Chain A
Amino acid sequence: MPIVRTDSLTKTYGDAAHPVSALNAVNLAVEEGEFLAIMGPSGSGKSTLLYLLGGLERPTSGQVWLRDHDLSKLNDNDLSRLRRTAIGFVFQFFNLIPVLTAQENVAIPLILDGMPRAQALKQADEALAKVGLSDRATHRPSEISGGQQQRVALARALVTKPAVILADEPTGNLDSRSSDEVVQMLRHTVDEWGQTLILVTHDPRIAAYADRIVFLKDGKIVDENRLKGQGTADQIREQLSRVALQ
């Protein structure tokens, strides 16, 4: 049974007179332990899809299922709880709290969930070790590099052992070396710990690490690539331009 599933997921912005369709009856299923990349040209609805999967945005119609929770039926508090226990986010801008240390940033979701501080910090240390940043635990975000900041953000997403990690252009703000480092680490979480991962990107080099790519255009899934991590960037780039020209 898929861990994440959508059912005719539709999102429309604007008022009734001037509807702007962002997502149109999308059906998507993601299996446990799968690494899915979402690609598509600008305005194709890929970010909207990610927000809907993360419970940050509410669907106009259709459903989003995370395990057996129908996200469209949850209230704000329940959604918040789900986000801090079952979903991990990694953003393009690393979005760390500047006044907290790396360790404390990682511990935030646990502390928000009411875990005693000492225990939360201990688990944060473990998560930092997984991303290879044990020696940066007491540094503030401004004291470490961009790639390291994104790894801290990844540790923050991992610390709750979420059902799924949602990553929105996680390398969009990094140089190519740091990008490789981060995406290899993402791959590693899938391979080593069976983490489910959904990633939005426009970079074929990054998407090449995924098990499967879905291509979005005008709010619809128009193509798919089950490359199982074996694809090449060029191949994906070609497929992407085909989608854009359709």
Chain B
Amino acid sequence: MTTQVSGLGSTAGQMARMGLRYLSGRRLRTALTTLAIVFGVALIFAINLVLPSAVDAFNQTMSGIAGADATITSVTGEAFAPEAVLPRLEAIDGVRGITGVLRRQFQLPTLGIRNDNGSVPQIELVGLDPASASQVREFIVSEGRFLEPSDTGKAVLPAGLADLSPQLQVGTTFPLVTAGGLKLYTVVGLLAEQGSVSVPQIYVTLTDAQAAFNQSGLINAVEVSFDPRADREAVTAAIEQTLGDAYTLNTGSSSTDTLAAMQIGFAMMDLLGLLALFLGAFLIFNTFRTVIVERRHDLAMLRAVGATRRQITQMIVIESLIQGVLGTLIGLLLGYLMAQGVVSFMGRFWATYLNRGALELRLNAPAVLGAVALGLVTALIAGYFPARAAGKVSPLDALRPATTASIHRAARWSLIIGAGLMALAVLLLLTGSKGAAGGALLFLIGMVLAAPGLVMPAARLFSPILTLWYAREGDLARSNLVRQPGRAAITGSTLMIGLATLVTIAAIVSAFSGLINTLADANFGSDLILLPPSISIYDTVIGADENLAARLRALPEVEAVGSLRYASAAAGGQSLQVLGIDPNAYPQVATFEFSQGEPDKVFAALDSERNAIVTSLALSSLGVPVGSDVVLQTANGPQTYRIVGVANDLFTFKLAVMFISQANLAADFHKTEDIMLMVNLTPDADKAAALAKVQDILTDYPQFTARLTGEYREEIVRTSASAMYLFYALAFLILIPAALGLLNTLTINILERTREIGVVRAVGGSRTQVRRIVTAEALLLGVFGAAMGVLAGVAMSYGFIAAFATAGWEMPYQFPLLGVVAAIVIGVVLALFASVLPARSAARLDIIRALQYE
């Protein structure tokens, strides 16, 4: 007798070989079961491939001039007066050089520089003081000369950038977008460096940069170099202490909200991946339960010839692991392709919309390991429980005729706990909007728990309808179904989750579309709109000075011009966008969707003192009611603003935004550029002609695009609607496992009842009748799942929409009638579809063989 330990490898190897053969014998089922794992792993892997490089790209472009030891910015990210900082830094021990810079990234519409990745859409214009900058960082000139303090209209570039563009050589001139329109700069020197590939830097004098950004006398960063012998941490600490809370030693604080929004987006995708994996687990579980019924004989025989329980359990676990490995591998591959797709799609979006650094795919160990671990663990857990049940198959099952499917009683406690949870969930849904999302999930869990107890009443409730079509077979189908309430409940629950997701998505999509339509009406009251290259994220937008608005007003067709101006700020530790409007001109060209406050009074209030309108999202993130005072970190230090109204528009409803008057924005933030303009035309003006004239003016301001507002509105509404269809697609993906679950359950039921089916046939049941029994059973299951799905879906959609409202996205709840109808139809259709194969194989059973089946 060989010992067990020495040969474990051989046994496991044989188990794996056997598992593979079983799996390849049922290719379609294996593929479908594995699909859910593939999908989950792919999503999670893709996200974690892109995320680090996205964050890096983000930080990279936000970081300062390379070579400086520290970069100091204001907490708001806005510009400040150099006098406020520089003298205080000079006194600190260990600081060697200090220089104030004004820099900003923006788009280069006309330069046409190309690199390997295509055109360079953005650059960083860095304004520096040539004398002090050299103390902070060495600039090695490879050709021409470095900047001199007296230079105007002169620029120095990295040689790497010049290599890419033949027009950019010493002595040539190139145009740059500035707040004052296009300006020409002459290249006077090249630096012996490659420069940043994704965001090339162009150096000009501080005075030129201040003019270009319309921020005279201001800087937005201080670069510091340390004495090489100094203790860096001590110097850093001393700087932090000296400057206090208004400044930070960091890289890119102004963009943390963008970063946070991005991370939330990625987290939501991660969640979707996890949901897919969860359903994958459900599916593997369900499939292996089927497998064990199907293979009861083989398992019993193995036990009879001496396999231990553990060996049997091992075999099934190995089999589910094979699926896990397979699904994970394919998932990794698919995830990589998805990530590439995302990068090439987002890269374009990134470049043109956000003006951020290039995205690149980076294979990293945590992403690979994380996805692999999740995929395998899911398969392992899902396979373990059926595997344990497989170990309990008695060796006698190989010798004795099978006992017929036993009748199980539904566990009463499960129904009671489930009903209790559902009641609690309804309370949560009705009373607190804070706990609404939790209530929605609780309802779902309660439903899953109560499901076994609901099988019988549901079967009673729906079978009268069934007898309309299946007069003779309906009763038999019903009694078959309720024999195994646990199994029917699991199948119904899978279907329920799928359909509830569908109903919820339908409800959210319709509420969202309604919201977008309402908000779009508010934004698009004007005739023409002048859009910056990026919308919603303005810190890289070069606006226009007042000349542009003045030139627009001078057109005879123009009746009114309103504009938005931008600054970033912080309140209560949270970053906020501040948008400046002219309280008199703005209401003529656009409006807000007010949820609190009288529009007339609020606009009037904005004109005096420091009053502000906030978006719902800002109000909930500040956590204060209307009428309260909020201390805002401004470029001028802390200022107190009073909230006088809550309103949203299409561009701001998903952001924390505070609207203040343009006068206050200029005083507290030194910002006077218009970043978006809306134009009203005189009633008899020819819109097309006016648009042409405006476009003509915009040749000097290429950062803007002029559009007919109505046309643009249609485009936005259409785009957002098509994005919504993506969610429907995801809901349908979730229904695939549900359909497979149905198929599995029907298959088990037929396998277990082979002998009974033989009896039905022997006593004169026709093939058609047998088929109709199976179809009727499937229909009952489908209707059961659909009914639960509709209930759970209504609860979930209500909960999620309430939760959105707490987060500041107020949408009216409408009963998702369309979703409910769709869920019922889809549930029934899926059930019919899933019943085709089992019904056919039941009908084709050979009577004699079925009677002998053991």
Contacts and interface: CB of A to CB of B under 8 A. Distances in A.
B7 A113 contact: yes
Contacts of B310: 77
A152 to B, nearest CB: 12
Interface string B394-409: 1110111000000000
Contacts of A97: 18, 298, 301-302
Contacts of A91: 301, 304, 398-399
Given A81-B308, A116-B10, A108 B302 contact: yes
Interface string B283-307: 0000000000000011011111111
Interface string A40-69: 000000010001001011000000000000
B298 A111 contact: no
B722 interface: no
B13 interface: yes
Interface stretch (A29-37, A82-90, A216-224): A82-90
Contacts of B304: 54, 56, 83, 89, 91, 95
A80 B1 CA distance: 13
Interface in B1-50: 1-8, 10-11, 13-14, 18, 21-22, 25
A173 to B, nearest CB: 9
Contacts of A38: none
B487 interface: no
A57 to B, nearest CB: 7
Contact of B301 (A95, A104, A111): A95
A84 B307 contact: yes
A117 B305 contact: no
A114 B10 contact: yes
A113 B307 CA distance: 8
A111 to B, nearest CB: 4
Interface range, B side: 35 or more
A120 interface: yes
Given A76-B308, A85-B1, A100-B21, A114 B399 contact: no
B10 to A, nearest CB: 5
Nearest to B301: A95
Contacts of B13: 117
Contact of A95 (B14, B297, B396): B297
A107 B854 CA distance: 26
B670 interface: no
Interface centre among A76, A93, A111 (most CB of B within 10 A): A111
A171 B301 CA distance: 18
Secondary structure of the B contact surface, majority rule: helix
B309 interface: yes
B311 interface: yes
Interface residues of A, number: 39
A168 to B, nearest CB: 6
A206 to B, nearest CB: 18
Interface string B773-803: 0000000000000000000000000000000
A65 B203 CA distance: 96
B305 A83 contact: yes
A117 B8 CA distance: 11
Given A111-B10, A114-B10, A117-B10, A99 B306 contact: no
Given A56-B399, A95-B297, A97-B301, A115 B307 contact: no
A109 interface: yes
A81 B306 CA distance: 6
A98 interface: yes
Contacts of B395: 56, 83
B20 to A, nearest CB: 9
Contacts of B297: 93, 95
Given A113-B2, A113-B7, A84 B305 contact: yes
B4 A113 contact: yes
Nearest to A57: B396
Interface centre among B3, B394, B398 (most CB of A within 10 A): B398
Interface string B698-738: 00000000000000000000000000000000000000000
Contact of A76 (B2, B4, B305, B309): B309
27 contacts: A54-B304, A56-B395, A56-B396, A77-B310, A80-B307, A81-B308, A84-B307, A85-B306, A88-B305, A95-B298, A97-B18, A99-B18, A99-B21, A99-B22, A107-B14, A108-B302, A108-B305, A109-B305, A111-B7, A112-B11, A112-B308, A113-B1, A113-B4, A114-B7, A115-B10, A117-B14, A168-B399
Given A100-B21, A112-B307, A116-B10, 17 more contacts: A47-B400, A51-B396, A76-B309, A80-B311, A81-B4, A91-B301, A91-B304, A92-B399, A95-B301, A100-B18, A108-B302, A113-B1, A114-B10, A114-B11, A116-B7, A117-B14, A156-B305
